[in-house]
């Protein structure tokens, strides 16, 4: 007891007690504040800082994993380009199909090919896709164009049907197919399309989404790969974006997609003849491979990746031919892009959950007996874990959570090499796909960091298989932008959640507070990392990125 104040020990913690008439005295207040500061310091040192240091170490390890994966894939892609610059990929033959009479418009030397075009209320682009498919330079009696229309708008259905009838009148073997409902969405639509009797005679199946426009010689360039190489199941071609210059959002997407096609797909094709079937479009499948793999399955929203994975486990091989490009459209609105990325992130996560255990079970071994350990390792580690789960989590956690936490807890420091050197190297490696946009690289990094929040949320939804795990929202297409000069702002009666994204705005506010605190009270310049990221969160949260179109 000292001066009427009592300190009572309880273990290692001291409780302060003072007479009631002295509780308001400055000395007592100072003692209480000092006690709270000491308690906070103890909690900080023993409970908060160690986990934060562990998080720093974890992020350092993940950054090395991400960098190693990109260096590895980039090296493989570069080497293969140098070695096979004058030839098609690897040792696959791609000789022209021999025809006894080149002037003959029909020849049994050409295999029967089915072209599938699944669509859903595609008013803006249905003419482009149907017209491109019907203009393919392939013998008319060896080609079937199948339009799978799931439209719910009666006016649009009539327009699509009339377009098919117009091409049929010109001698094209085009079939217009509809369903009673949209069960299974795109996978269900394609599966239903394969059940028609006239499909049984088709040796190969080419698929194009409604916004894709293949060149007339598409089949002439792709089918020979499959015809001369019986082990091939799929020939995947590259996407060429007709609207990449529409806005900043499309420029950002172009950078991401170009890296995917020029590096990831080329590396997967050359390493183990396996990769994901991009969006279920711009590729040609061997019908036998689809049938043997069990056909289309709607258990996830990644039906294209699901089919590719099952076919790969059966020993079928894939080839990616980047020199063949198919025109397509990037989402021009933030709402469309977010729904697309949710599907592309959630679907693979759910598929990984469903397939991972089966890869390890003995009862599944009869399916993988033709697959090497290296190929299975690539599927599990590089294709799923490193590229999608670790890469997305690292991007979100490191830039949007860890760095702001370091501002508040300077006891846990991030080494310069982990803070600057590795992220810079990763960024530069990602930029090789689109050299013309190198000046946008900083904006692209900030944009991808924000989208990592949306993607990781979708990954969690897929892994835990919540209600939105199989949510399917068709990506809105705008068609030819030159025809849309009357683009308007979002209508005033649009829902609040469609105009503002609260989670992004919350992160933006948190980062802004962290940046201000760092600028005022610290001298480590971390606000240079945090403040621009905060601005990008606000730009996406308030939909300042991308075009705004009327909901009408």
Count of other CB atoms within 10 angstroms of residue 269:
24
CB 355 within 8 A of CB 309: yes
CA-CA distance, 144 to 151, in Å (whole number)?
21
Q: What is the DSSP letter of 5?
A: B
CA-CA distance, 451 to 392, in Å (whole number)?
9
Closest among 150, 181, 209, 190 to 295, alpha carbons compared: 190
Residue 95 annotated as catalytic: no
* CA 263 and chain centroid, separation: 15
Cα–Cα distances (Å) from 149 to 70, 123, 127, 140, in that order, read 40, 11, 13, 22
* Ramachandran class of 315: left when φ > 0, alpha when ψ lies in -120 to 50, beta otherwise: left
Give the pair of three-digit tokens for residue 520: 């005022």
Pairing of strands 143-149, 174-178: parallel
- The C-alpha torsion from 252 through 253 and 257 to 258, rounded to 10°, is -40
Out of 149, 211, 246, 304, which one is annotated catalytic? 304
Out of 110, 150, 298, 382, which one is annotated catalytic? 150
Element holding 321 (H helix, E strand): strand 317-328
* CA 141 and chain centroid, separation: 38
Closest among 437, 432, 444, 397 to 418, alpha carbons compared: 397
- Inter-helix orientation angle 334-360/303-313, to 10°: 30
Residue 304 annotated as catalytic: yes
Pairing of strands 317-328, 232-241: parallel
CA-CA distance, 372 to 374, in Å (whole number)?
5
**Catalytic machinery residues:** 150, 304
């Amino acid at each position: 007891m000292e001066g009427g104040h009592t300190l009572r020990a309880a273990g290692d913690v001291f409780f302060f007690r003072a007479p009631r008439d002295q509780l308001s005295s400055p000395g007592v207040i100072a003692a209480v504040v000092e006690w709270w500061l000491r308690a906070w310091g103890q909690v900080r040192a023993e409970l908060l800082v160690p986990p934060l240091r562990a998080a720093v170490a974890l992020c350092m390890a993940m950054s090395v994993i991400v960098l190693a994966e990109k260096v590895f894939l980039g090296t493989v892609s570069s080497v293969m380009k140098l070695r096979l610059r004058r030839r098609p990929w690897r040792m696959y033959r791609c000789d022209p199909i021999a025809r006894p009479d080149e002037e003959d418009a029909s020849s049994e030397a050409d295999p029967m090919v089915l072209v599938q075009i699944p669509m859903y209320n595609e008013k803006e682009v249905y003419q482009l896709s149907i017209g491109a498919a019907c203009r393919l330079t392939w013998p008319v009696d060896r080609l079937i164009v199948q339009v799978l229309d799931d439209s719910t708008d009666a006016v649009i259905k009539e327009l699509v049907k009339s377009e098919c009838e117009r091409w049929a009148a010109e001698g094209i073997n085009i079939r217009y197919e509809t369903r009673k409902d949209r069960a299974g969405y795109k996978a269900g639509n394609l599966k239903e399309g394969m059940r028609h009797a006239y499909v049984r005679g088709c040796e190969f199946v080419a698929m194009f989404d409604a916004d894709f426009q293949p060149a007339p010689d598409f089949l002439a360039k792709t089918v020979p790969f499959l015809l001369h190489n019986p082990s091939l199941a799929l020939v995947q071609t590259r996407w060429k974006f007709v609207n990449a210059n529409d806005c900043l959002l499309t420029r950002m997407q172009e950078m991401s997609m170009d890296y995917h096609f020029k590096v990831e797909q080329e590396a997967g094709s050359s390493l183990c003849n396996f990769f994901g079937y991009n969006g279920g479009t711009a590729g040609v499948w061997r019908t036998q491979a689809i049938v043997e793999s069990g056909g289309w399955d709607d258990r996830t929203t990644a039906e294209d990746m699901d089919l590719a994975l099952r076919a790969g486990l059966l020993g079928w091989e894939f080839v990616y031919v980047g020199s063949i490009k198919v025109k397509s459209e990037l989402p021009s609105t933030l709402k469309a892009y977010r729904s697309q990325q949710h599907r592309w992130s959630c679907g693979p996560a759910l598929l990984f959950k469903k397939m991972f255990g089966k890869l390890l079970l003995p009862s599944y071994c009869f399916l993988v007996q033709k697959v090497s350990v290296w190929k299975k390792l690539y599927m599990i580690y590089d294709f799923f874990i490193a590229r999608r789960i670790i890469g997305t989590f690292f991007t979100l956690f490191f830039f949007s959570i860890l760095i702001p936490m370091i501002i508040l807890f300077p006891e846990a420091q991030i080494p310069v090499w982990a803070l600057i050197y590795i992220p810079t190297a990763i960024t530069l490696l990602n930029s090789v796909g689109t050299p013309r946009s190198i000046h946008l690289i900083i904006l692209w990094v900030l944009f991808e960091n924000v989208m990592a929040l949306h993607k990781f949320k979708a990954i969690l939804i897929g892994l835990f298989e919540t209600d939105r795990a199989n949510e399917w929202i068709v990506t809105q297409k705008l068609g030819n932008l030159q025809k849309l000069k009357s683009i308007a702002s979002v209508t005033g009666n649009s829902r609040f959640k469609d105009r503002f994204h609260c989670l992004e705005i919350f992160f933006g506010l948190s980062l802004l507070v962290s940046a201000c605190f760092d600028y005022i009270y610290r001298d480590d310049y971390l606000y240079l990392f945090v403040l621009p990221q905060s601005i990008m969160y606000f730009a996406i949260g308030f939909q300042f990125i991308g075009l705004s179109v009327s909901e009408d």
